[in-house]
Structure 1
Amino acid sequence: METPKQPLRTAVMLAAIVTLLTFIMAGCGSQSKDNNTATSQATGDTRVIKHEMGETRITGKPKRIVTLEFSFVDATTQLGVTPVGIAQENDDDIDGLLGKKIDFTPVGTRKQPNLETISSLKPDLIIADLNRHKGIYKELSEIAPTIVLKSRNSSYEQNLASFGVIADALGEKEKGEQILAAHKANMKKLKQGVKAGEPRSVLVGVFRSDSLTGHAASSFDGQLLEQAGIRNALQNTSEPTVKLTLEQIAQADPDVIFMAEADEKLISEWKQNPLWQNITAVKKGEVYEVNRALWTRYRGLGSAEKILEQAISLLYPVQSK
């Protein structure tokens, strides 16, 4: 009577094993499904950003951003992100750029960023300038995903292109396109203040102690004024900025001079020289001092609008009755 129990025990054990295997397989299937979903989400949220030094993969929307040039600060804040770290020379640089105070950690100067300070901020994105920072791109990339863009010694249009890349990097491509469209509309409206066929040529220059650095037609301010119909006096130069002697300025003979910085000693010396006195802008009294940071350093969308607005107000002063 003992023998019938053996098949029964075997059947029970087999059923238990089948149940256990079914449970394990179901769990594995569920885990595999979850992993596939996570991979799909990560892939869909990752963008390959092309920049001046190659390609950088960015996942999600970076929030802890370090910016190493002023125009990048302008761009990120317009896109709704305040950088955690900013390179600057003076304590009031960012106040002047944005017209307001923001909280951030200084990370050295634009010329010489402090890599240790940048690393301590644990950024998820670093935005660097091609002209200044291509030599430390590797070190920056070891800290966080880094994109290198044109700003310093770059044209107005090149800076607009950099803004578009930043918007994409922040996951705000559509918002960036809207901001650019609004900026171009503002510039178009401002351009209406320039007289058609404006005959005067302008020279934007930084007057230092020993020479003048002129901003040519391909510079940021030079190009944006050209696009508005205000002709630059320096047309045939291979670089956006060029050092000029007094003799070269006299040869260019600008009708208007915008002095972005004026060294008093240099100007006082030149005022005694007939070459300076014979420049058309000097003879007609059209030499104007303008803010150097705004005209030559910021290079943001807001800065471009302010430069054009100021240029128009100086070229066409309201006549008092």
Structure 2
Amino acid sequence: MSKKSRFRQWGHLAWSLALACAVVLTGCGSSETKNQAASQDSAQAAQKRTIKHELGETEITGEPKRVVALEFSFVDALWELGVTPVGIAHEKETDVEGLLGQKIEYTSVGTRQQPNLEVISTLKPDLIIGDLNRHKDIYKELQKIAPTIILKSRNSTYQENLSSFTTIGEALNKQKEAEQRLVKHKAVIDELKKNIPAGDSRTVMLGVFRADSLSAHGAKSFDGELLEMVGIKNAIQDAAEPTVKISLEQMVQWDPDVIFLVEADDTLLSEWKQNPLWNNITAVKNKEVYQVNRDLWTRYRGLKSAEKIVTEASEILYSKKK
């Protein structure tokens, strides 16, 4: 074979090898590209999720950072999960500081009863959390501003508030953090429960005095169910609603051994104290009427608040008797 022929043969062989490598590399590159695309699609799908709530389902993408909270328990939940709300509905300047124990930067978006939709819109939120009792009628308007979930807080039980906390964790894409906080919360409550003697048969009633009525919290209220869970029995077991407006005669009939008293207005309380029936109530006769903080016991309804309520109740009922 001539040198020229051998050269041509080697040339064809080299070209064939180069072509084969190119095909292999192209296949590898194509496979890698497909894997990257599939991975990206999977990540995007993981970020998009449908959150079930009290008024339906809401699709949320990513991890919301600009969140507006229209109830105190939602503020507490966000804070516990590492998110500072950009907007909060409240009544007093001290509300949020009292709830969290410190001042934070946020924009007031009106009251919980009547949030200001225009202000909420200017904040450009990526999530709004509203309360079923207060905000169901403006749900559609809120949805036009940003993805909105409606949960139970006001007039709800302790367990319903825990469920709302879990849903907020899902909405924030912080399910793991929410689960960890709930485990910690249970451990705290279980530890506090050890301070409450099993043999105590006293019944308690939380009463919020207003100018013309007493709103009593029964066993189905947030604080009522919470205290029942740790062994502190509520005087009102048969009420259909979490809170009920009652007369002095009804209070005498339920006859609580302990009254946790909230004075929103002392007009009615002053009037009742002049009535002999008031002095026939066991709690009054035994001087077991205790003033408690209205915000903590009736308005905040968060995990931290629940822990503080049990702590305070056990201190009032047992530490003061030692």
Q: Is 2:188 the partner of 1:201?
A: no
Aligned to 1:290: 292
1:32: Cα distance to partner? Answer: 9.2
Q: Equivalent of 2:303, from 301, 304, 308?
A: 301
- Cα shift readout 1:225-253 (whole Å, capped 9, x = no counterpart): 00011110111111000000111101110
Structure 2 counterpart of 1:94, which letter?
V
Match of 2:192 in 1: 190
What is the match of residue 152 of structure 2? 150
TM-score (norm 1): 0.88
Shift of 1:261: 2.1
- Give the alignment partner of residue 276 of structure 2, picking from 274, 288, 303: 274
The 8 Å contact of residues 212 and 267 in structure 2, kept in 1 or not, is answered as: no
Question: Retained in 2: the 8 A contact 1:70–1:97?
Answer: yes
Q: Could you tell me whether the CA contact under 8 Å between 1:208 and 1:266 is conserved in 2?
A: yes
Please give the secondary structure, in 1, of the residue aligned with 2:277. Answer: helix
Q: TM-score, normalised by structure 2?
A: 0.87
Distance 1:79 1:36 in 2: 31
User: What is the CA RMSD across the aligned residues, in angstroms?
Assistant: 1.9
8 Å CA contact 1:262–1:289 kept in 2: the answer is no
**Structure 2 counterpart of 1:15:** none
Which residue does the alignment assign to 1:264?
266
**3-state SS of 2:212 partner:** coil
Aligned mate of 1:108, from 85, 100, 110: 110
Q: What displacement does 1:39 show?
A: 4.0
Answer yes or no: is 1:159 the counterpart of 2:161.
yes
Q: Distance in 2 between matches of 1:243 and 1:144?
A: 37
Q: Distance in 1 between matches of 2:286 and 2:263?
A: 20
How does 1:196-235 map onto structure 2 within 5 Å?
196-235=198-237
Q: Secondary structure at the match of 1:131?
A: helix
Which stretch shifts more, 289-298 or 256-265?
Answer: 256-265
Q: Which runs of 5+ in 1 are unaligned?
A: 1-28
1:41 aligns with 2:75: no
Q: Does 1:246 align with 2:268?
A: no
- What amino acid is the match of 1:165? T
**Which residue identity does 2:316 align to in structure 1?**
L
Q: What residue is the counterpart of 1:8 in the other structure?
A: none
Does the CA-based 8 Å contact 1:197-1:229 persist in structure 2? no
User: 1:118 and 1:210 mapped to 2: Cα distance?
Assistant: 35
The 1-side partners of 2:42 and 2:191 are apart by: 45
User: Which residue type is aligned with residue 223 of structure 1?
Assistant: E
Contact 2:210 2:267 in 1 (8 A): no
Which amino acid in 2 is paired with 1:254? P
- Deviation per CA, 1:63-106: give whole Å up to 9, x if none: 00000000000000000000000000111100000000000000
Deviation for aligned residue 1:319: 5.0
Give the CA deviation at 1:274: 0.9
Identity rate of aligned residues, in percent?
A: 61
- Deviating beyond 6 angstroms after TM superposition, the runs of 4 or more aligned structure 1 residues are 29-36
Deviation readout 1:261-292 (Å, 9 max, x if unpaired): 25333222211111101000000000001000
Letter of the aligned partner of 1:199 in structure 2? Answer: S
Letter in 1 for 2:296: L
How many pairs align?
A: 293
